[in-house]
Structure 1
Amino acid sequence: MPSLELYIEGENAMTALGYALAQQTDGHGILFLQGDLGAGKTTLSRGIVRGLGYDGPVKSPTFTLVEPYEINDKRVWHFDLYRLSDPEELEYLGIRDYFADDDLCLIEWPQQGQGFLPQPDLEISIKAHNTGRIVRLLPFSTRGKSWCAALASHT
């Protein structure tokens, strides 16, 4: 399946897309989130985490690099690599351990960790367009393709 492009207008619509992605991933997989500052990556991540049933605050882990969420029997790791100065720093964080159990890993600014991150199931690019955003979902795995197909059939 080729990429899926969606036009999203407003924060509520971006959050709703996150809820839909949460239902598709069921708390497993690797999602790369790309876009300029303020594009909506954290809003989308918040929707995903809340869509899995988390009630607390979901903030951008810009200064901590990773924010963990325990949701029933699922774990979500929300990474923000914006401030990473060298991808090799991920080795010191034990980055490989985060991917060992097929937890859900949401990675903002994945290009900052190039060479140290595994291939994603789904790459999500967000770009401003008119008063909304163009969200492009590019699958890299069988399950990423099935997520896109399911989302396409509901839009």
Structure 2
Amino acid sequence: MTSPRAVLTLTSPEATCALASQLATRLSPGDVLLLSGGIGAGKTHFARCLIHALQDPPEDVPSPTFTLVQVYDTAAGELWHADLYRLSDPDQCEELGLADAFETAICLVEWPDRLEDLAPADALSLSFDAGAAEDSRALTLDWSDPRWDAIVTELTA
């Protein structure tokens, strides 16, 4: 059985931000988003827009490339934004406390391939690629947990 999949074209950085804001309102602690794609594909832009949508007022959201994890208090609960690009071993993910955060916080994980088998099976995977037009992105969403069915349907309507 194959997992459900949706493919979207995001025509601009503003469209990417709008989708992130829509998704933000549907998230709660225990939700994990796995953001993949090459450097410059739009992962951090998406994450920043999603975090801003949950903050009142929005605060500075730096890329966690060097800090590895940034934690935010939001109206929806604690949110962890992790950038695993610099990690070389999944054990380092355990040391960061990500396994616990997957259960208690909203988690956005860039470079989720670094998690290997630590990636939660019920996560929503978002894969960003350059689109055909300048500044556009092709976004593929994959999931196995039925919880995401209605959410993705609403986002793609």
Alignment TM-score, normalising by the size of structure 2: 0.88
Structure 1 counterpart of 2:70, from 67, 92, 103: 67
Q: How far has the Cα of 1:5 moved from its partner?
A: 1.1
Which residue, 75, 83, 90 being the options, matches 1:87? 90
- 2:63, 2:26 → 1: CA distance? 22
RMSD (Å), alpha carbons: 1.7
1:127 alignment partner, one of 126, 129, 149: 129
Output the amino acid matched with 2:97.
Answer: G
Which aligned segments of 4 or more residues in structure 1 are displaced greater than 4 angstroms? none
- Contact residue 93 and residue 115 of structure 2 kept, 8 A: yes
Write the distance in 2 (CA, Å) between the matches of 1:66 and 1:9: 29
Distance 1:73 1:146 in 2: 19
Q: Which residues of 2 match residues 19-58 of structure 1 at below 5 A?
A: 19-26=21-28, 28-54=30-56, 55-58=58-61
Q: Say how many residue pairs are matched.
A: 152
- Distance (whole Å) between structure 2 residues aligned to residue 64 and residue 6 of structure 1: 31
- Report SS of the residue matched to 1:100: helix
- TM-score norm. by structure 1 comes to 0.90
Deviation digits for residues 113-147 of structure 1 (CA, Å, limit 9, x no counterpart): 11223224310000002221101111221222221
How do 1:3-22 residues align onto structure 2 when only pairs under 5 Å count?
3-22=5-24
Segments of 5+ residues of structure 1 without an aligned counterpart are: none
Gaps of 5+ in 2: none
Residue identity (%): 36
